[in-house]
Structures are given as structure tokens and as C-alpha cells.
Amino acid sequence: MSEADLKPEAVAVIDIGASAVRLVVAEIRPGERPFLIEEASRGVLLGKDTFSSGRIGAQSMEAALNALEGFRRLMDVYGVARYRAVATSAVREAANSDTFLDRVQLRTGLLVEIIDGSEESRLTYFAVRDRLKGHPALDAPHTLLVEVGGGSADLTLLESARPKYSGVYPLGSVRMRQGLAAAQRPHDRSVRVMSRHITNIVSDICNEMPLRSAGHMIALGRDVRFVAQELVEAPEDRVREVPRDAFLDFCTRIEKLDEDDLVDRYGLSPVDAETLVPALLVYRALLVETVATTVIVPDVSLRVGLLADLVGADVEANLTDFGTQVLASAEALGEKYRYDADHARAVALLATRLFDEFHEDHGLSRRDRLLLETTALLHDIGLFVGLRAHHKHAQYLISASEIFGLTSDDKGVIANVARYHRGALPQRSHLPYIALDRQDRVRVNKLAAILRVANALDAEHAQKIRGLTVRREENGWVLDVDGTGDLSLERIAAEARADLFLDVFGKRLLVRGAGVQT
């Protein structure tokens, strides 16, 4: 082994949140876990500006830039060459986010990407799964994973360790403090207003995911870690488990204290004191909806997930696992809108088989295959709204829903693919389609062309097709299908729906095979 192989590489991750800017620097060696060598945090309430005025103010922007300049110097001291810097809701929702990111780059040289709630959930889940490997909570039928940040609360209901339901809700501690408690009200009245708001949203959450089935609750975030540190001594594995009654009792005591009281009694910083009560009100409201007997608080964060993602350990296994999680979440969404599961799965199987058969012709990636399979599962959910124009309803429902692990850009693609699984072909007059960039429009065209044929091959929702292969001939392709019964309707429907296929790939597609009457 060379000396270069033995020398660790320094990497870093930066998280620009609603209430703080945070840095983690770690050393990595091949085949080993990252070793943390530096952590830093600066309290900057970017969310206070964004959630009140819609823009990051000059003073807050300058404070964030100063913090990032200090982080850049630390990274240089450690010789960091590889990093990932992300910004979440406070920057994502700010009208002047582009200006902020430009000033960061000019002042520090750091390139910052804005990630959405779905990506936050994915990264956090991977960090939790790694830390709690072998814990009963990950083997349980249902476990609620929740993190209350400054801008939002991210919830994922795990089913035997896999994400089943996922959502991002406007229950961030800074957002609520700024929006609901901004008026000059007495502290107890502010708490009552926030509590009513939380109760209303949690009631909506219960309609979307079965919180009552959760036998365990895993809670993340700076505020809940404070509670766990106050109530439970740190075990060797740094996973604290707070008894349900002790947690609820502590929340009841804390909610009576205003920010000055919290600073005086617990030595909290003003930023931490401002977010503590709103966050605990959310954790408490969610806990009482579950049957969990403890609150499990692992010492992990978004930054741990970012670090693992940056290092890219076991990429192939993670990609496979990621696909399973996305599809489980998609099926949960399908169940919500009462989809025909047998038809959806049959179309998904046919679509991915066609994708594989035409791989040389479309040149798309493995992730595109996953997006196609996800769309196939959800292409008919618009029937929940109505039969007429259900492809357009499906587009809207997908765009407005959370699917674990998929970004807003991913959802933009699959929503458009679902839109074109039947009906008119993509047109420049269709606003959601033309809003995509050129590369994504090309992806939509190719995936929709495949989905239209796959959907037609189960035209009767009878799952008659058992297999298919493609033969390339001089004037086009012949799709040989194997199935049961008379497949005439499937042949006619598939050839009729191959219009986009011809438009995209430039060749006709004919259907032949056992059971097909020609």
C-alpha cells in the first residue's frame, strides 16, 4: 500500500439552515467510516427574515457571510479539497436567494446548492439507519422519524425500516415563532396560539399517515437533543432514549418559560432559546399521536447524512436500496388515491422491461429507469379526481405530493410523464412541460413514449402479458409478446399508443407474438 493510500483525505460539509450555519470536517480512508475532526456552528437566524418578509435582510446576510468566511479558513487549515455545501428552507424560500448564493461564492469561493425537503429527508434517513443499525425501532412494523428544523418539520413513517409515508410540513420553530408569535403577546398567549396551529396541522398529518400505528418515535434536531441531554445520561452509543412521560412532563415545564428564562436557567444562547419552545410543542403533539413509550434521540443530523453521501460508501447498494424506498413511498401515495395496484404494478413491470430492451436507443440512466417505474405506479391516480382528463389530474397530484427521496425536479419529470401516458403528445403550449429545461423535456419524451406502450399492453387491466422481447428490423421494431388469451386489444392499443415512440425514436413499433391475432 502506498503512502498516498495511508494518508487520510480531509472533506467537509456545510449546512445553511434557518437558525444556524454549521460545518463538519472529517478525515476519510478507503473502507473506513469518516472520522470527525472539527465541528463548528454559528447562530444566524436567516429564517427570521425569510419567514417574515420573504427576503434575507442585509444584516442577516452579512452575518452568514462572516460565518462562512470563517468556515472557509478552517477548511483551508485542514486542507479540505472536497466538500458539499447546502442551504435549506430559509434560503430556498427567499426571493433574493440567487443574490445570497452569488455573494457567498464571490466572498468565500464556496458553491452552495439549495436542496428541498425531500432531499433533506433522504439524507437524514440514511444517517439514522446507519447509526441505529440493529435497534428494535428499525425492525418494528412502524416507526415515526421526525426532525423539527427552523423552517419545517420533516416526517417519515418507516415500515420495517423502510420509508413508507413522507412529508414536509410548515411546523418549523423559527417559522412559527416569526409568524404566529411575532405580535407583542404575553408568552402564555403565544404558546396557546402556536399550540392551536400545531394541533390543526398534526390533525391533517394524521389523515395522510397512520401515526397511531407507530410503536417508536425517533426524534432529531438540536432542540430535542437538548431535552435528551437534560434527562438522560449519554450511553456509549450516544443514542439516548427518553421515557414518554418524562419527555411530556419536561415539555410542560419548558413551555412556561420565556426566552430570557431559558437563557438564565439553562445557559442557552438567544438563538437556541428562541427555537426551543416551538420545537418541543411540535415534538409533543406528534408523540401523543403515537403509541411510542420512549423518544429515541440519536446523535445524528443532516450533516452526518451529507458526509456519508459525499464519501459515497457502498454506492451500488445504496442505489438499490434507494430505489426500493422510492417505490414504497410511491405505492403508499397510490394507495392514498385508491389506485388499481395490480394494473399499476403490471404497467411498471412492462415499462421497465421496455426500458431495458431499448437501452441502446434511449441512452437514459438507471435513475431515469427508477423515475419511469415510479410514474408507471402512479400514472392512473388522477382517476381519484375523475375519469375525464385523469392524466392531467395525475400530473397535478404528483406535483403536489411528497415522494420519499425524489427532488422537486424529479417530480416535475414524472408528473409530466404521467400527463402524457395517454391523450395529446407533449406540446410547447403546455406550460408545465415547457417549464422544464431542454434535457428534462427530452427525458419526458422518451419515458412517456415507453409508458404509453406499456400502459396499452395492459389495456384491459387483466395482466395478460407475461413477457416481451424486441426484434430490430430494417424499417422498425417488432415487439414479440407472450401472454394468455386473445391479445388483439393489447396489440391495437399498443400500436396506437406508439405514436410518441415513432416521433421520439424515428421508427415504427409493431406488436406480434403468442396469442396475438394478426
**Per-residue pLDDT tens over the stretch 242-253:** 999 999 999 999
Q: Does residue 19 lie within any of the structural domains?
A: yes
In this prediction, residue 2 carries a pLDDT of 52
Shared domain for 202 and 296, answered yes or no, is yes
In this prediction, residue 7 carries a pLDDT of 77
In the predicted structure, residue 207 carries a pLDDT above the cut 80 = yes
In this prediction, residue 103 has a pLDDT band, given cuts at 50, 70 and 90, of very high
User: Residue 385: what residue type?
Assistant: V
Q: Does residue 512 lie within any of the structural domains?
A: no
Residues 23, 29, 35, 37, Cα dihedral to 10°: -60
In this prediction, residue 10 has a pLDDT band, given cuts at 50, 70 and 90, of very high
What sign for the dihedral angle of Cα 332, 337, 341, 346? negative
In this prediction, residue 310 has a pLDDT band, given cuts at 50, 70 and 90, of confident
Q: For 194-205, what is each residue's pLDDT tens digit? A: 999 999 999 999
Task: List CB contacts of 265: < 8 A, sequence separation 6 or more.
Answer: 257
Shared domain for 323 and 295, answered yes or no, is no
Q: Does residue 332 lie within any of the structural domains?
A: yes
pLDDT > 70: percent of the chain: 95
35 lies in which domain range? 3-114
Assign residue 225 the CATH number of its domain.
3.30.420.150
In this prediction, residue 184 carries a pLDDT of 65
Q: Does residue 431 lie within any of the structural domains?
A: yes
In this predicted model, which residue has the larger pLDDT, 182 or 507?
507
In this prediction, residue 238 carries a pLDDT of 81
Assign residue 87 the CATH number of its domain.
3.30.420.40
Q: Does residue 374 lie within any of the structural domains?
A: yes
Shared domain for 192 and 291, answered yes or no, is yes
Shared domain for 108 and 123, answered yes or no, is no
In this prediction, residue 514 carries a pLDDT of 55
The whole-chain average pLDDT of the chain stands at 91
| 286-290, 488-492, 510-514: least confidently modelled range | 510-514
Average pLDDT over residues 296-302: 92
pLDDT > 90: percent of the chain: 70
Average pLDDT over residues 189-194: 91
In the predicted structure, residue 452 carries a pLDDT above the cut 90 = yes
Helical (H) or strand (E) element with 223 = helix 222-231
Shared domain for 320 and 289, answered yes or no, is no
In this prediction, residue 313 has a pLDDT band, given cuts at 50, 70 and 90, of low
In the predicted structure, residue 115 carries a pLDDT above the cut 70 = yes
Q: What are phi and psi of 330, to 5 degrees?
A: -65, -40
Among 272, 301, 330, the domain-final residue is 301
Assign residue 446 the CATH number of its domain.
1.10.3210.10
Among 424, 441, 458, the domain-final residue is 458
Task: List CB contacts of 469: < 8 A, sequence separation 6 or more.
Answer: 357, 479, 480
In the predicted structure, residue 316 carries a pLDDT above the cut 70 = no
Shared domain for 336 and 243, answered yes or no, is no
Shared domain for 187 and 94, answered yes or no, is no
In this prediction, residue 287 has a pLDDT band, given cuts at 50, 70 and 90, of very high
Shared domain for 252 and 374, answered yes or no, is no
In the predicted structure, residue 515 carries a pLDDT above the cut 70 = no
Q: For 128-137, what is each residue's pLDDT tens digit? A: 988 898 999 9
Shared domain for 263 and 370, answered yes or no, is no
Among 274, 301, 328, the domain-final residue is 301
In this prediction, residue 323 carries a pLDDT of 86
In this prediction, residue 337 carries a pLDDT of 94
Q: Does residue 501 lie within any of the structural domains?
A: no
Per DSSP, the three-state class of 17 is coil
In this prediction, residue 131 carries a pLDDT of 87
Shared domain for 237 and 278, answered yes or no, is yes
In our burial notation (b when 16+ CB lie closer than 10 A, e otherwise), range 347-373 reads bbbbbbbbbebbeeebebeeebbbbbb
Q: For 361-413, what is each residue's pLDDT tens digit? A: 999 999 999 999 999 999 999 999 998 999 999 999 999 998 988 988 999 99
In this prediction, residue 518 has a pLDDT band, given cuts at 50, 70 and 90, of very low
| Total number of domains constituting the chain | 3
Q: Does residue 472 lie within any of the structural domains?
A: no
Chain Cα centroid distance, residue 476:
40
Task: List CB contacts of 59: < 8 A, sequence separation 6 or more.
Answer: none
Q: Does residue 16 lie within any of the structural domains?
A: yes
Query: Listing from the earlier edge strand, what are the strands of the sheet with 216-220?
Result: 162-169, 153-159, 143-148, 216-220, 294-298, 239-243
What sign for the dihedral angle of Cα 51, 435, 385, 329? negative
User: Residue 427: what residue type?
Assistant: Q
In this prediction, residue 472 carries a pLDDT of 87
In this prediction, residue 13 carries a pLDDT of 95
Shared domain for 75 and 173, answered yes or no, is no
Average pLDDT over residues 208-212: 93
Shared domain for 267 and 366, answered yes or no, is no
In the predicted structure, residue 1 carries a pLDDT above the cut 60 = no
